[in-house]
């Protein structure tokens, strides 16, 4: 009777993992999140439950690579094969890139307005981030934010017993029966 074939995942350096088939149990050698390839679901199923979190990102990265390759192949398919069409496409893309890069030279007022908008947006973003960090820090430390004087305390349990009673869901009762 043949001995059961066994597997292991080893670190090959530079963040890559290699799946080897030569041991008795599948184990994850590297705890660094990385991607292994198409067989990530098979690897994930063969790992013990306590080790599955270590390789969960493998499937997500594999799917990302698959989707990227799909869309890139579609782009390659629509590229022209005729040299004249390729030259015309290249010139059009180069012209569009030049127009985009020099928009501030041609429309100074537009760029000034954009810079003003960006500065306002950035200051609001910094304020919001500071506010979120402050609130989270207070909550984690157990401090509740102070309510302004005169603020109404939220009430709970305002339903009456009649409100809590379930509505009748059966057949209507016949009168005079």
Predicted local confidence at residue 147, as pLDDT: 67
Q: For residues 37 and 136, which has the higher predicted lDDT (pLDDT)?
A: 136
Predicted local confidence at residue 4, as pLDDT: 46
Is a pLDDT exceeding 50 seen at residue 7?
Answer: no
Instruction: State the Cα–Cα distance between residues 151 and 18, nearest whole angstrom.
Output: 61
Predicted local confidence at residue 5, as pLDDT: 45
Q: For residues 92 and 15, which has the higher predicted lDDT (pLDDT)?
A: 92
Question: What is the residue extent of each domain of the chain?
Answer: 8-78, 83-141
Q: State the average pLDDT for the chain.
A: 75
Paired strand residues for 8? 20
Instruction: State the Cα–Cα distance between residues 58 and 32, nearest whole angstrom.
Output: 11
pTM of this structure: 0.37
Predicted local confidence at residue 1, as pLDDT: 43
Share of the chain above pLDDT 90, in %: 38
Paired strand residues for 11? 17
Q: What is the pLDDT of residues 20-56, one digit of tens each?
A: 554 444 444 444 444 444 455 555 556 555 565 555 6
Instruction: Give the DSSP letter string of 64-132.
Output: HHHHHHHHHHHHHHHS--SHHHHHHHHHHHHHHHHHHHTHHHH-HHHHHHHHHHHHHHHHHHHHHHHHH
Q: For residues 39 and 86, which has the higher predicted lDDT (pLDDT)?
A: 86
Predicted local confidence at residue 158, as pLDDT: 80
Q: Which range has highest mean pLDDT (23-32, 78-87, 145-154)?
A: 78-87
Q: By the 8 A CB rule, do 8 and 24 touch?
A: no
Is a pLDDT exceeding 60 seen at residue 140?
Answer: yes
Predicted local confidence at residue 113, as pLDDT: 95
Residue range 166-170: average pLDDT? 80
Predicted local confidence at residue 34, as pLDDT: 47
């Amino acid at each position: 009777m043949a001995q059961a074939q066994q597997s292991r995942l080893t670190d090959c350096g530079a963040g890559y993992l290699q799946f080897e088939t030569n041991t008795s149990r599948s184990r994850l050698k590297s705890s660094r999140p990385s991607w292994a390839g198409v067989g990530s679901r098979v690897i994930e199923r063969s790992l013990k439950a306590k080790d599955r979190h270590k390789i969960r990102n493998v499937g997500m990265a594999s799917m990302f690579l698959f989707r990227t390759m799909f869309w890139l192949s579609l782009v390659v398919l629509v590229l022209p094969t005729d040299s004249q069409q390729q030259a015309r496409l290249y010139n059009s893309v180069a012209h569009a890139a030049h127009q985009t890069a020099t928009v501030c030279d041609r429309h100074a007022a537009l760029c000034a307005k954009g810079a003003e908008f960006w500065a306002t947006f950035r200051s609001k973003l910094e304020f919001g981030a500071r506010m979120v960090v402050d609130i989270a820090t207070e909550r984690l430390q157990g401090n509740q934010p102070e309510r302004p004087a005169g603020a109404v305390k939220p009430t709970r349990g305002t339903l009456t017993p009649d409100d809590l009673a379930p509505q009748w869901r059966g057949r209507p009762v016949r009168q005079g029966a």
